[in-house]
Structure 1
């Protein structure tokens, strides 16, 4: 078991060393995160991904996306995307933009899940989780 916080406080990933398959729980979903819940933390998710990519595996089973043959590569791709996104959020924040302004610039469209969840899933939460980690 590998502790992988970020989506929640208590998630774990499971690595089957015999088969080389990682069971990532809800950490992956997709390589480009567009919305999260307010309780989630992009910086903590990134730390969890860094922990996993140091493990010896290739394939990954995600509870949402199913079996991903190049699981390690896809996790690395997600990490690189989140690193670029954090850099962009930090740059805009340092230039004086508010969290809402940054959200509108980086995520100009609201995704359907925003409306279905009554705002529980929102791109703004990505921005605020990154900014709150700066302080």
Structure 2
């Protein structure tokens, strides 16, 4: 009986530590996803490459499926063009062991058909895998939000 009580007490004592670990993982994962959006907008291929798993793939806002190499190639320095101003308005990260999911809302402004600036939004869904202790992105899907 003492053994059972001792094990139960040890588990209860470790519960706050486990919750803190999950909270820290979620914070780290959210920060990494937000950084990934920023380095893409800066056309920083080296930083992007470091954040992408070898088997990365992406679904663009128009539904195209792109390989890691194709995405990296799109962000070559000679293809750099001004990105519309973007604001990350929501980030929710859910780590689960070695896999994590991040859902993000991104607002951006661009000229409309009438020349007036319009604010639009899209949802980004990231899947990450912990590789050698670091979160790397396995996939990313962008979905425009109608509005």
Q: TM-score, normalised by structure 1?
A: 0.30
Larger radius of gyration: 2
Higher strand share: 2
Higher relative contact order (CA 8 A, sep 6+): 1
